[in-house]
Amino acid sequence: MNFAALNHIVENNPELIEENVPAGGNAAAAVGVARRLLGINGNVDGLTENQRYHYENYIRPLIENVSCTGIFSSEGEDGCVGGGTIDDEDLEGCYILDEMLCQECQNVQDRMRDD
Ligand SMILES: [Zn+2]
């Protein structure tokens, strides 16, 4: 669990959680669970079974093992030059920049910008 990233999402971009909830699901409840998690310092054990369902399905994918979107996105390929996932320590920065790139892709992109 990346608490800093969770905090950033809830405060600035709760739509990311809502978008994970399928039609017919309770998007407001999922955001509510995220807020509750912040209130209990990210202690998942403090959630009810129902809340934990929201966490596992709609919130956790945003703050753990998040996929890199890649920089060379072409047909059929994700375009990531690194390991495919974003390091935990880089995750909050990715949300702040709104660029979901792993360190390797970030480096390549920086180099391309410099050229
Ligand atoms: Zn990447």
pLDDT tens, residue by residue, 85-96: 999 999 999 999
Domain boundaries, the chain: 3-63, 66-115
Q: Give 73 Cα–ligand 1 centroid separation in angstroms.
A: 10
pLDDT at 17: 98
Q: How many residues does the chain have?
A: 115
Q: Does the structure show a pLDDT above 90 at 67?
A: yes
- The SS3 of residue 20 is helix
CA of 90 to the centre of ligand 1 (A): 12
Matching residue, tokens 């702040």: 96
The pLDDT tens digits for 70-79 are: 987 656 566 8
pLDDT at position 14: 98
pTM equals: 0.89
pLDDT recorded at residue 113: 83
Closest to 80 in 3D by CA, of 96, 104, 61: 104
CA neighbor of 66 nearest in space, from 42, 38, 90: 90
Separation of 89 CA from ligand 1 center, angstroms?
A: 14
Q: What is the mean pLDDT of residues 14-43?
A: 97
Residue 71 near residue 39, CB atoms below 8 Å: no
Rounded to whole angstroms, how far apart are CA atoms 39 and 25?
23
β-bridge partners, 67: 85
User: Given a cut of 90, is residue 35 above it in pLDDT?
Assistant: yes
Give the pLDDT score at 115.
Answer: 73
Cα–Cα distance list, 98 to 22, 30, 43, 113, 114 (Å): 23, 21, 26, 17, 20
Nearest to 7, CA basis, from 50, 62, 82, 52: 62
CA of 107 to the centre of ligand 1 (A): 9
